[in-house]
């Protein structure tokens, strides 16, 4: 995403929160929130737009456009700064606690004088929230959990996509420096972990100085933490640490292997080296006794000399990949290029930001063979879906389908799994869709039994093909629901219902460990972006990375299959 879009999105969202916290017009707060999302999801760089261009973005009106222009011109928004000044910094901090909305933050401030996270913790422990209207014991537990999540995030780990954006920029900039013989990111990012501690970038070059200079001079560098010949570390304006290491070109393979990790994987690989009387370091593979170098130029060579095939970075977590490699039984992992279509996407008919036509055009540009439009169903009230709207969309989808030669369009919906496991529409209406995704969007705090029964009932509906974002977690923001997922996975296997691997970097749901467990039950998966704008379609890479971390192959992933086979899988059965 363009950096300006992201900054404007954050500013407008903050303004919306501040309006809410000061008891301002709720309608106005919502308008700013909508505009924030629209700009965040806008495919072009907003810093290149004039007033007219801004007004063309949905949900951006005159006064919002003026504020955006002011920000782009001056770097600040007067109205926002005035509102900020009205509110103690600690109270502003309160609204950043996930699970605590602006309204509750304001109550805490007004009723109890709470003006910081610290004071809020004290108030909870002194049971002072107990007397407040709207604050039950459950709310307390949620707030505590939210603070833990926030402090965990503050403990330094950031979303995979945020780290990837920075790494892509750094790699592009350093690759352009004369003398660069190789440049790549390594570490947890190359392994596609769901959160990233710091970004590790490697360069192969004879001389390191020009790269270290270029690195510290990058526009998003806020602070140089350490500046050395072999390694330089910076912190970006957003607080993310990036380490750059420059390696001699002939030790590229050994260095890439070492700095990709994981540490646990490296230890296993070194054990094999030691057994063969060899020594492995970031500089190469050596004879232990003579110290003579054997190989170091590529990862393949290093692995091969140890009797191993090349192991994909996403597998390098010491989850049995070494043993499988020694037996030559590594899985043939699913790749992004294997994905033939996206099966969970939205348009502006509900809460998506782009029109059906724009989403479909962007999907076709990705070379998909099929693409499903799955807007929200009526039980998510704020989306105001009706039967008539859905049927009218179907007509548009069918017409568009006829216009595309290479890509088939499926008309689907994302159903809401109600508190009792029921769905938005009766079976007769569901039968009209090519595909139904069913997801939990409310009542996250039911008992474990209720949540389990609810998900199992959804699987048992013959028209439900995929369970969307099954745990409903939002990384760093919302915990997973407490269901017996082994029971849910078993139900999916029994009913032939696929589980989603939601590729949105804030969800990655299911995550790798759940996928591994589900696969043991014999479940199939669908890797989907849940795109709400054209800029979300490329999130597919994060979903595929997560699937790889769980050892999935093409056979496991229904949206790598040819359309006919997919349709057979989705066909309603008597389950
Ligand atoms: P992160 O940054 O917490 O998300 O995780 P990583 O895996 O990127 O960890 P990081 O940045 O500390 O180190 C990058 C890689 O370098 C790590 O995956 C393995 C390697 N490495 C770093 N320190 C050591 C070490 O003391 N021993 C071994 N065997 N490998 C190390
Ligand atoms: Ca790292
Ligand atoms: Ca590091
Ligand atoms: Zn959803």
My answer on whether 300 and 375 are in the same domain is no
My answer on whether 169 and 190 are in the same domain is yes
Give the pLDDT confidence score for residue 2 in this predicted structure: 67
Confidence tier at 18 by pLDDT (50, 70, 90): confident
Indicate which residue's Cα is closest to atom 14 of ligand 1.
187
Evaluate whether residue 13 is within a structural domain: yes
Cβ of 188 below 6 Å from ligand 1: yes
Report CA-CA distances (Å) from 421 to 250, 304, 381: 59, 52, 17
Give me the mean pLDDT over the 540-565 stretch: 98
What's the 167 CA to ligand 2 centre distance in angstroms? 11
My answer on whether 435 and 565 are in the same domain is yes
What's the 157 CA to ligand 2 centre distance in angstroms? 10
Lateral strand order in the sheet of 435-439: 341-342, 370-376, 408-416, 435-439, 466-467, 498-502, 525-528
My answer on whether 141 and 163 are in the same domain is no
Indicate which residue's Cα is closest to atom 30 of ligand 1.
263
Confidence tier at 110 by pLDDT (50, 70, 90): confident
Indicate which residue's Cα is closest to atom 18 of ligand 1.
261
The domain boundary residue, chosen from 153, 176, 200: 153
- % of the chain exceeding 90 in pLDDT: 76
Cβ neighbours of residue 407 closer than 8 Å, sequence gap 6 or more: 341, 360, 363, 364, 368, 369, 370, 371
158, 159, 166, 188: residue to mutate for ligand 1 pocket, most atoms within 8 A of CB: 188
Question: Any idea which ligand is nearest the CA of 243?
Answer: 3
Q: pTM for the whole thing?
A: 0.83
Predicted confidence (pLDDT) per residue in 341-400, tens digit: 999 999 999 999 999 999 999 999 999 999 999 999 998 877 789 999 999 999 999 999
Tokens matching residue 388: 């008539």
What's the 200 CA to ligand 2 centre distance in angstroms? 5
Give me the mean pLDDT over the 284-300 stretch: 96
Confidence tier at 404 by pLDDT (50, 70, 90): very high
Evaluate whether residue 279 is within a structural domain: yes
Cβ of 198 below 6 Å from ligand 1: yes
Give the pLDDT confidence score for residue 339 in this predicted structure: 98
- CATH number of the domain enclosing 295: 3.30.210.10
Indicate which residue's Cα is closest to atom 9 of ligand 1.
187
- CATH number of the domain enclosing 189: 3.30.460.10
| Domain tally, the chain | 4
H or E segment at 520? Answer: helix 512-520
Distance CA 571, CA 575 (A): 11
Indicate which residue's Cα is closest to atom 20 of ligand 1.
259
Q: How many residues does the chain have?
A: 575
Residues less than 5 Å from ion ligand 4, measured at CB: 439
Evaluate whether residue 554 is within a structural domain: yes
Confidence tier at 153 by pLDDT (50, 70, 90): low
- CATH number of the domain enclosing 445: 3.20.20.140
Evaluate whether residue 372 is within a structural domain: yes
In ligand 1, which atom is closest to the CA atom of 258? 20
My answer on whether 412 and 547 are in the same domain is yes
What's the 179 CA to ligand 4 centre distance in angstroms? 47
Give me the mean pLDDT over the 301-327 stretch: 97
The domain boundary residue, chosen from 135, 153, 171: 153
Cβ of 187 below 6 Å from ligand 1: yes
In ligand 1, which atom is closest to the CA atom of 198? 2
Question: Any idea which ligand is nearest the CA of 261?
Answer: 1
- % of the chain exceeding 70 in pLDDT: 98
H or E segment at 501? Answer: strand 498-502
Question: Any idea which ligand is nearest the CA of 502?
Answer: 4
Evaluate whether residue 562 is within a structural domain: yes
Give the pLDDT confidence score for residue 1 in this predicted structure: 54
What's the 459 CA to ligand 4 centre distance in angstroms? 16
Confidence tier at 288 by pLDDT (50, 70, 90): very high
**Residue 211: domain span:** 158-247
What's the 243 CA to ligand 3 centre distance in angstroms? 6
My answer on whether 227 and 128 are in the same domain is no
Cβ of 197 below 6 Å from ligand 1: yes
Cβ pair 464, 456 in contact under 8 A: no
Question: Any idea which ligand is nearest the CA of 318?
Answer: 1
Evaluate whether residue 544 is within a structural domain: yes
Indicate which residue's Cα is closest to atom 29 of ligand 1.
263
My answer on whether 242 and 265 are in the same domain is no
Predicted confidence (pLDDT) per residue in 467-525, tens digit: 999 999 999 888 999 999 999 999 999 999 999 999 999 999 999 999 999 999 999 99
Longest distance between any two alpha carbons in the chain, whole Å: 79
Residues less than 5 Å from ion ligand 2, measured at CB: 187-188, 198, 200
Indicate which residue's Cα is closest to atom 28 of ligand 1.
263
In ligand 1, which atom is closest to the CA atom of 270? 29
My answer on whether 78 and 94 are in the same domain is yes
What's the 536 CA to ligand 4 centre distance in angstroms? 14
Give me the mean pLDDT over the 110-128 stretch: 86
Q: Which carries the bigger pLDDT value, residue 480 or residue 151?
A: 480
pLDDT reading at 405 higher than 80: yes
The domain boundary residue, chosen from 185, 214, 247: 247
Lateral strand order in the sheet of 182-185: 182-185, 199-204, 241-247, 231-236, 221-227
Give the pLDDT confidence score for residue 574 in this predicted structure: 56
In ligand 1, which atom is closest to the CA atom of 157? 4
Confidence tier at 155 by pLDDT (50, 70, 90): low
Cβ of 194 below 6 Å from ligand 1: no
Distance CA 159, CA 134 (A): 32
Confidence tier at 186 by pLDDT (50, 70, 90): very high
Indicate which residue's Cα is closest to atom 31 of ligand 1.
263
pLDDT reading at 283 higher than 90: yes
In ligand 1, which atom is closest to the CA atom of 189? 8
My answer on whether 179 and 101 are in the same domain is no
Please list the helix, strand and coil fractions of the chain in percent, rounded to the nearest 5, in that order: 50, 15, 35
Cβ of 52 below 6 Å from ligand 1: no
What's the 530 CA to ligand 2 centre distance in angstroms? 28
My answer on whether 271 and 365 are in the same domain is no
- CATH number of the domain enclosing 28: 1.10.150.110
Question: 221: burial class by Cβ within 10 Å (0-12, 13-18, 19+)?
Answer: middle
Confidence tier at 143 by pLDDT (50, 70, 90): confident
My answer on whether 387 and 517 are in the same domain is yes
Cβ of 196 below 6 Å from ligand 1: yes
H or E segment at 18? Answer: helix 3-21
Cβ of 263 below 6 Å from ligand 1: yes
Give the pLDDT confidence score for residue 152 in this predicted structure: 57
Evaluate whether residue 331 is within a structural domain: no
Cis peptide leading into 68, omega within 30 of 0?
A: no
Evaluate whether residue 575 is within a structural domain: no
Confidence tier at 575 by pLDDT (50, 70, 90): very low
Give the pLDDT confidence score for residue 3 in this predicted structure: 75
Cβ of 259 below 6 Å from ligand 1: yes
pLDDT reading at 130 higher than 50: yes
pLDDT reading at 87 higher than 90: no
Predicted confidence (pLDDT) per residue in 407-435, tens digit: 999 999 999 999 999 999 999 999 999 99
Cβ of 261 below 6 Å from ligand 1: yes
My answer on whether 241 and 260 are in the same domain is no
For the chain, the average pLDDT equals 93
Cβ of 185 below 6 Å from ligand 1: no
């Amino acid at each position: 995403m363009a950096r300006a879009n992201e900054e404007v999105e954050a500013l407008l969202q903050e303004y919306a929160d501040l309006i809410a916290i000061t008891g301002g017009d709720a309608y106005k707060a919502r308008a700013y929130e909508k505009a924030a999302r629209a700009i965040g999801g806008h495919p072009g760089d907003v810093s290149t737009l004039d007033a007219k261009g801004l007004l063309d973005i949905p949900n951006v009106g005159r006064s919002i456009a003026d504020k955006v222009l002011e920000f782009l011109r001056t770097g600040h928004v007067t109205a926002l700064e005035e509102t900020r000044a009205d509110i103690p910094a600690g109270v502003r901090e309160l609204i950043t606690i996930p699970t605590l909305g602006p309204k509750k933050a304001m109550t805490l401030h007004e009723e109890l004088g709470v003006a910081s996270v610290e004071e809020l913790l004290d108030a909870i422990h002194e049971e002072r929230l107990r007397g407040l209207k709207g604050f039950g014991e459950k709310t307390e537990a949620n707030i505590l959990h939210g603070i833990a999540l926030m402090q965990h995030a503050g403990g330094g780990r950031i979303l995979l996509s945020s780290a990837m954006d920075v790494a892509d920029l750094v790699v592009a900039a350093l690759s352009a420096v004369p003398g660069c013989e190789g440049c790549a990111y390594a570490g947890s990012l190359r392994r596609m972990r769901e959160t990233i501690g710091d970004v590790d970038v490697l360069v192969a070059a004879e001389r390191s100085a020009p790269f270290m200079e270029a690195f510290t001079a990058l526009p998003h560098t806020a602070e140089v933490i350490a500046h050395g010949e072999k390694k330089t570390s910076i912190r970006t304006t957003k607080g993310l640490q990036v380490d750059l290491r420059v390696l001699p070109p002939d030790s590229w393979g050994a260095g890439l292997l070492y700095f990709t990790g994981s540490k646990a994987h490296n230890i296993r690989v070194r054990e094999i080296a030691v057994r063969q009387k060899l020594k492995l370091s970031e500089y190469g593979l050596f004879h232990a006794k003579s110290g003579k170098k054997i190989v170091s130029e590529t990862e393949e060579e290093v692995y091969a000399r140890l009797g191993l095939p090349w192991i994909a970075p996403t597998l390098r977590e010491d989850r049995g990949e070494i043993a499988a490699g020694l037996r030559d039984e590594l899985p043939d992992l699913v790749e992004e290029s294997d994905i033939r279509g996206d099966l969970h996407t939205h348009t502006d008919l509900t809460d998506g930001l782009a029109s059906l036509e724009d989403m479909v055009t962007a999907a076709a540009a990705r070379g998909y063979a099929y693409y499903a439009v799955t807007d929200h169903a009526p039980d998510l009230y704020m989306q105001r879906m009706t039967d008539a709207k859905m049927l009218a969309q179907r007509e548009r989808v069918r017409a568009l389908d006829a216009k595309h030669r290479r890509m088939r369009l499926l008309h689907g919906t994302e159903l809401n799994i109600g508190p009792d496991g029921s769905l938005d529409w009766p079976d007769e209406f569901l039968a009209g869709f090519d595909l139904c995704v069913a997801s939990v969007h409310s009542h996250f705090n039911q008992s474990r039994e209720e949540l389990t029964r609810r998900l199992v009932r959804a699987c048992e509906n013959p028209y439900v093909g995929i369970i969307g974002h099954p745990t409903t977690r939002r990384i760093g923001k919302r915990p997973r629901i407490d269901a017996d997922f082994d029971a849910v996975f078993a139900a999916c296997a029994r009913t032939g219902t696929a589980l989603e691997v939601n590729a949105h970097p804030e969800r990655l749901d299911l995550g790798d460990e759940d996928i591994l467990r589900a696969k043991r039950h014999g479940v199939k998966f669908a890797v989907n972006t849940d795109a709400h704008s054209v800029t979300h379609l490329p999130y597919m890479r994060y979903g595929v990375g997560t699937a790889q971390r769980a050892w999935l192959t093409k056979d496991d992933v229904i949206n790598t299959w040819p359309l006919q086979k997919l349709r057979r899988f989705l066909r309603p059965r008597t389950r």
